[in-house]
Structure 1
Amino acid sequence: MPLILGTLLSFCGVFVPYTAIPHFWKYWLYYLDVFTYIMGSILWFVLWDAPVNCRPGEFANFDPPQGMTCAAYLEPYMTTVNPGANLLNPQATAGCQVCTYNTGTDYLRTINITEEHTGWMMVGISGIYVLSSYALVFVMMKLRTKATKKAD
């Protein structure tokens, strides 16, 4: 069980971001993994549109190249790599402070929850997993033979 659970938890996208999962695993195990949908639906309810307020020790602090503002230096990064980054002092020419996320939605995008309806879809798929598991147990109990139900 630890091997199976460890594998499922590793490939659900929460511990390892969706973009960092190897392609072989990303396109089949990620979508078959029940933890993908359970963790995604829980995190979606809690984090969607929640504001992120970084503490002073959580900021990325750096100086841009000579003659550039923080906004000009980070423009390629903030438009392509991390559009959800929060630059606190865009007009500064030294001491840039960047928080990785502006809202919880920015984090959810790293685990492949890109739209609000994606969260509802994950809730629905989690429900289907639960109901199908109960149905499978019920069918298996009904399929037992009468001989196995008798006490010795």
Structure 2
Amino acid sequence: MKKLFITITLILCFSTTISARELTLGEPVKMGLVESMETLLAQPETYIGKEITVKGKIGKVCKKRGCWADFVVGDKKLRVKVEDGEIEIPLSAIGSDAYATGVLSSIEFTKEQTIAYLEHMAEDAGEKFDPNTVEQGMTLYQLQSGSVKIL
């Protein structure tokens, strides 16, 4: 009887450990909407305004509020933005694989707006930024997400 109790206890502890590694933030991720980031970023205009799910490795996270994370696949990167104060992506998620469901948007920045945006992002990430590196405006593709699943 003692061995059975120990075995059941170990199984419960082990299964709790496995499920504790996954973290769902916000609504459940819609796995039926998965698009590869390579396909998405090759023709982002095709996906603007559409709800999609992406998978990537979390490269950076907003150090101030956890309100964004960069999803990275190879040399491709997509900013995943979550609602401030409603979802907080933990810094401990850096390096983890994750899924996010949301609507893709594009934001066109002038050179001045690009500098202001990049300065703000560097400040959030705790990094230095040299405005002299910006030569022109940029287009930012961002997934506005209400659901993130960290593996």
Q: Aligning the two structures, in what range does the TM-score lie when normalised by the shorter sequence?
A: under 0.3
Whichever of the two has the greater Rg, that structure is: 1
- Does 1 or 2 have the higher relative contact order (CA < 8 Å, sep 6+)? 2
TM-score after normalising by structure 1 = 0.20
TM-score after normalising by structure 2 = 0.20
